[in-house]
């Protein structure tokens, strides 16, 4: 795999993961917290009785999201380069 494709994939995966932090991903039956991020909810805002800082980041879900989006962007970049040739 070309280093250029890999670098575009990683940067794109991180950017898309951070952008998905704006999308709501809360299950319908869950109360007390609002979850953001897609496909895995990695940003959590506590709604009921937040103590001092209501925002929490689930690091494992954040890493999983970065990996998922990096693979997806890598496939798209690889396919677009192959089509251009």
Over residues 67-82, the pLDDT tens digits come to 999 999 999 999 998 8
Closest CA to 10 of 69, 75, 76, 80: 69
47 assigned to some structural domain: yes
59 assigned to some structural domain: yes
Give the pLDDT confidence of 9-67 residue by residue, as tens digits: 999 999 999 999 998 887 777 777 888 999 998 998 888 776 778 888 999 999 999 99
39 assigned to some structural domain: yes
23 assigned to some structural domain: yes
55 assigned to some structural domain: yes
- Positive/negative CA dihedral, 21, 8, 10, 79: positive
Task: Please tell me the pTM assigned to this model.
Answer: 0.84
Domain containing residue 75: 3-80
Q: pLDDT at residue 1 above 70?
A: no
75 assigned to some structural domain: yes
- Domains of the chain: total: 1
């Amino acid at each position: 795999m070309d280093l250029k494709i890999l670098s575009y994939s990683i940067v794109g995966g991180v950017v898309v993961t951070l952008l998905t932090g704006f999308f709501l991903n809360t299950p319908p039956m869950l109360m007390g917290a609002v979850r953001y991020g897609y496909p895995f909810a990695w940003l959590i805002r506590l709604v009921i009785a937040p103590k001092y800082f209501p925002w929490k980041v689930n690091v494992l879900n954040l890493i999983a999201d970065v990996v998922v989006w990096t693979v997806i962007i890598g496939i798209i970049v690889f396919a677009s380069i192959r089509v251009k040739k």
